[in-house]
Structure formats: C-alpha cells, structure tokens
Amino acid sequence: MTAFDTALISDPVSPVTTETRLRIQPVILAGGSGTRLWPMSREQFPKQLIGLVGEQSLLQSTAQRLDGLTYGAARVDEAIIVCGEDHRFQTADQLRAGGRRANLVLEPTPRNTAPALTVAAMHAMANQEDSILVVMPADHVVTDTEAFHKAIGAGAKCAEEGAIVTMCIVPTHAETGYGYIKIGQSMPSSGAWQLEKFVEKPHLELARQYVSSGEYWWNAGIFIVRASVWLKAIAHFQPAIYAACRAACDGGTSDGEFFRLDKQAFAASPSDSIDYAVMEKLAADPSVCAGAVVPLNAGWSDVGSWDAIWKVLPKDGEENVGRGRVMFEGSSSTYAHSEGRLIACVGTHNLVVVETADAILVADKSSVQDVKAIVGRIKKEHGKEAADHRKVHRPWGHYDSVDNGERFQVKRIVVKPGARLSLQMHHHRAEHWVVVRGTALVTRGTETFILAENESTYIPIGVNHRLENPGKMPLEIIEVQSGTYLGEDDIVRFDDKYGRE
C-alpha cells in the first residue's frame, strides 16, 4: 500500500478550495449480461448494447442522459465506462456513434459492481483529483432527464460533504424483483434521508408490508460518492477487493482508448456488489462515513425483464405492445418483438413473444424472471444461442451466418470503411468470396489485388489471407466456406490491428 493510499484511508475528505475546482465524474457500469432478456440479450452482445425501448441502445441513452448535467461551478468530465473486455469494440463504437469519446476501463473477467466501481474510482484519482462520482448502470431507463439531473444535484451536495448516496424510488406497488432500502430521518436542508437499512429482494407478502409502511424504497442502483470516500469505505469493509483492484490498476496498461486492468490481479478480487460489499455494512456501521438516500422520481426502470420492457413502452387500446412486424387479433396485455419475421398473435393474453434469427421465446409475463433458467440450460447443452446471435459483431464490422450444412457454411460479411480483418489462415476450410457491394482489397499468399462488385476470388486451405475495405462505403461480401471443420476457432492470426490474439 502506497503512502497515498494510506492517506486516502485515514484522512478526512479534503474540502474544495478556491485553488481546486470541484469535478463531477460520471461512471457507467456496463458489465452486465442481462440473461432475463434472452434471446435479444446474449453473452457477446448484452442488453446494454441493444435498443430495447428505442432506436438507441441502453448504453447510448445512459450516456446521452448526462448531457446538460450541471452542479454549481463543478466541471463535468467525460464518463468512465467500465465494461467487459469482450465488449470493448461494440461499446466504443456505440459511444463514438453518439459523438462521445470512449474512456473505457476493461474488466478481464466479471467481478460484479463493487470491484468495478473501485477500479473506476482509482482511475478517476490517477491525478489525485478527488471527483464526485455519479455511478450508473448502463442498462436502466429514465424518462425525465430534468428530474434526474435535479436528483443528482441533491445527491452531489451530500457526497461533497462526505456521504455515500444511494438513489431510490418511492414504490408504487409490491415488487419482488428489486432490493429495498429502509429510510431513516429526513435531512430537509439537502432533500435526502438517512440510510437505515438495506434489504434483499423480499417475497410478495413482505414486499406488501414494506410498501404499506412507507419506510422502504426501491433501490435504484445509482450511487453518488467522492472517489476518496468510496476507496476509504471499500478498504475498510472489503480490504481484499481494495488490494486486488489496487494491484490490477498498478499493473494495468493503456491501449489507445482502453485501459486494460492486470488480468491476474483483477481475477483475485472477490466478486461482490456495491450493495453487499459496502452499503449493507455501512448502514450497520456508519463509522467510516454517512449513508444518505435521495428519492428519484424520473420515470426510472431497470428494464431487467420482458415484463419491465412491456411496462415502459406505449400500448394499444388492449394493452398490447408490438415492435417490428407484429399483428394482434383478439389479444390483450401481450408483448411481441420481431427482428424480421411476422409475428401474428391471435387470442393471446399476458404473453411475451420475442423472435430473433436463431431463437424464439414464448413466455407468460408472470414467469419472465425464469428466462435465465432457460439460458442456463442452453449453456449446459453447449448451445451457441446463449453466447452469440446469428449476426456476430466484430471490431471491423459484422457477419451473419445465413446458411450452413454438412461441410459448408454461407456468411454475409460487412466491413466498415477503412477497416480490415486480421491476416490469417485456416487449417480445415477453404473460402470463396463474392463482392456484392463496395470494393475489397484482398491479400492472398504473396499477392494483393482489388475486387470490385460482382467479382470473386478463392482462398485455398492453409493460405494466408486478409480482407480490407479501402473505400468510403461499407464493403459487403458473400463468403462460402467448405471443408471438414468450419468452427470459428480454426483461425490462426499473424497480424491484427485490433490486438486480438
């Protein structure tokens, strides 16, 4: 532990002086998997990257929600995004599409939200600037941005004085899918309440008691805290997490827009949530710092299940929600989402129907929490539908496996302008490429040549090759693979601009 770390744990929060300008540092936690939103959400393309309630993904909406955020004379910095290493390119692409610079801290392995916030706090304090962190999951919906900003202002005031603030929702009904927080005395000067107790997700009867008492609010999972205060709290309550994250940051490396944590050090961290690691213990032992609760009345939803998606979207006169090619006939209270094919719902009630290119979900809305059990079964049976969509995103673009059979596979490949695939070879398959749109620069063995639309080439087994897009429009090709083995692991890379092994 360095001298700076020791001071961080033992010293009180430093006041903001005229020489130091207070900074607001948004932190977006984008490491979730969203298994309850299968088949749209997959391991390699989780729910925060999907437009579940609009054209923008949940991640893009979360980043946009920060636009116009102010707190007195404080400077609002660009957000730190903590995400899984496997999702780094999609996350960066989506941020850039919204005109935002990527500032990504990469988790080499999932370790839950407490370690994620800890490495973000350490990253924020790399220049020993004690920012107020506004910590948000990337996969929530907030419909009233103005009210959201106002609540952040109330929370920042408490955080500036040294409290860890959690934002909560005054419940409208008994909900068993959320954690609850028991509030203490009101603090009228700040618009906050004292944090008295954290409660795990209750059964229905207990949830009803909580709601009727008026003393328990839903935990929104949004936190506001000075970076130094969080690090002091995590070091006190969870020293193993603190030590592992310190080692992971100290051994980390910068890779362009990415900060890569040391893989071995981060893997040594216990996996725990912010709630269990610190907040639950803080309520029982406030000796480290105070805990505060700020109400959030901004149209919040964690959209953690298909039932929650149905609730936040506009409905027809029979309470149906349809997205994509959907028709309802004599149906009510039904949610249907089509990614391509027509879904015709006739006489359905209280159902969820979700169609993708390779899977269809049909569920009663009362059972949508059990979708994750299906995902577990798919994994156990080694089904590819748990990890990837048929359309697979890559840093250079994407491909769609449109057909396959014994000894052959057909892919539609789209390469972004200026992008290129790795220089590679295959031991078990040959490839035939037909350009249907754009211009391709092809490396095949020792030769390099251009292919225009309606031209084609052949890549024999064992020959080094690369596909590039030198143009200003997307390159689209049809690839026909043939051979004894067509798995994605039959790739030997010799050079890759994206740093993949």
Structure tokens at 195: 């944090």
Q: Does the pLDDT value for residue 227 go beyond 60?
A: yes
The structure's pTM equals 0.88
Predicted confidence at residue 32, as pLDDT, reads 78
> What is the mean pLDDT of the segment spanning 456-484?
97
In tens, the pLDDT along 363-409 reads: 999 999 899 999 999 999 999 999 999 999 999 999 999 999 999 99
Q: What is the pLDDT of residues 43-89, one digit of tens each?
A: 999 999 999 998 899 999 999 999 999 998 899 999 999 999 989 99
Residues 6 or more apart whose Cβ sits within 8 Å of residue 91: 30, 49, 59, 81, 83, 102, 104
For position 20, what pLDDT does the model report? 59
For residue range 337-357, what is the model confidence (pLDDT) as tens digits?
999 999 999 999 999 999 999
14 confidence band (pLDDT: 50, 70, 90) = very low
Bridge partners for 12 per DSSP: none
CATH hierarchy code of domain 21-304 = 3.90.550.10
> In percent, how much of the chain has pLDDT > 90?
80
Per-domain residue ranges of the chain: 21-304, 307-380, 391-495
For 131-186, how does the pLDDT look when each residue is reduced to its tens digit (9 = 90+)? 999 999 999 999 999 999 999 999 999 999 999 999 999 998 888 878 899 999 88
Distances (CA, A) of 18 to 6, 126, 158: 26, 21, 20
* Pairing mode, strands 23-30 and 80-84: parallel
Q: Which residues pair with 362 in a beta bridge?
A: 353
pLDDT band at 284 (very low <50, low <70, confident <90, very high): confident
- Burial readout 176-212 (b: 16 or more C-beta within 10 A, e: otherwise): eebbbbbbbeebeebbbbbbbebbeebeeeebeebbe
What is the rounded CA–CA span in Å between residue 437 and residue 413?
Answer: 11
User: What is the average pLDDT across 420-449?
Assistant: 97
Per-residue pLDDT for 501 more than 80?
no
Name the residue with higher pLDDT: 155 or 286.
Answer: 155
In whole numbers, what is the pLDDT of the chain averaged over residues? 91
| DSSP 8-state symbol, 42 | B
Indicate if 391-495 has the same CATH topology as 21-304: no
Which range among 7-21, 79-93, 99-113, 294-308 shows the weakest confidence by mean pLDDT? 7-21
Q: Cα separation of 181 and 426, whole Å?
A: 55
The burial of 127, by beta-carbon neighbours within 10 Å (0-12 exposed, 13-18 middle, 19 or more buried), is given as: exposed
> Given this model, what pLDDT does residue 450 score?
98
391-495: in CATH 2.60.120.10: yes
Q: Which residues contact 486 (CB under 8 A, 6 or more apart)?
A: 404, 407, 408, 409, 428, 429
pLDDT per residue over 18-41, tens digit each? 345 789 999 999 987 778 999 999
